[in-house]
Chain A
Amino acid sequence: NAGVTQTPKFQVLKTGQSMTLQCAQDMNHEYMSWYRQDPGMGLRLIHYSVGAGITDQGEVPNGYNVSRSTTEDFPLRLLSAAPSQTSVYFCASRSGNYGYTFGSGTRLTVV
């Protein structure tokens, strides 16, 4: 049972490039979320999904897109990377009213 799998683990982008951070879970969880973590800021919610085909914005959605075509996958797209998007990104999933299970993160640097 792999849990929540994020790829890649590390990525360096140039300003203006686009990319997709992948997230997959094999626990049949209906809820999935993307967070970013910056020093001294804790974790901030970017986007979340309550099921396939349903997504909504979190606290800091600008510059990011998501889609949820399947229960298992919840990719995060950066359309035009900016240095301010340098961060560690975490994907998480849960079922019912229990706490989220987090992936191990993607460390993104935009130069």
Chain B
Amino acid sequence: GQQLNQSPQSMFIQEGEDVSMNCTSSSIFNTWLWYKQDPGEGPVLLIALYKAGELTSNGRLTAQFGITRKDSFLNISASIPSDVGIYFCAPQVQGAQKLVFGQGTRLTINP
């Protein structure tokens, strides 16, 4: 089966710092999704990437779909306290209904 590696598993940063996390896979995907989960809540979609090489921004968040279609990264600039949570990558094969999740990156911010 496919292997999906999300790193780092956890990050402890100061407010205002930039954050970078990534996912790599042994398989090729057509879509990369990034989700954020706040404590006690379900994951919420942040960014969706549909084309290899695509770079998409959503406010302070930027995500890119790797050229090989086996990886993606998510950057957060100038972190703020509400960025705390767990971030998941979730790649998908086109036409497949299953969404596979990475193990998550837990972000903690020190004020």
Contact = CB atoms under 8 A, between A and B. Distances in A.
Contacts of A50: 97
A48 B42 contact: no
Contacts of A41: 103
Given A40-B103, A43-B88, A103 B97 contact: no
B74 interface: no
Given A42-B103, A42-B104, A99-B48, A90 B97 contact: no
Contacts of B99: 33, 45, 92, 99-100
Interface residues of A, number: 25
Interface of A: 4, 31, 33, 35, 40-45, 48, 50, 56, 58, 90, 92, 97-105
Interface of B: 6, 31, 33, 35, 40-45, 48, 50, 88, 90, 94, 97-104
9 contacts: A4-B42, A33-B99, A42-B88, A58-B98, A99-B35, A99-B48, A100-B99, A105-B40, A105-B41
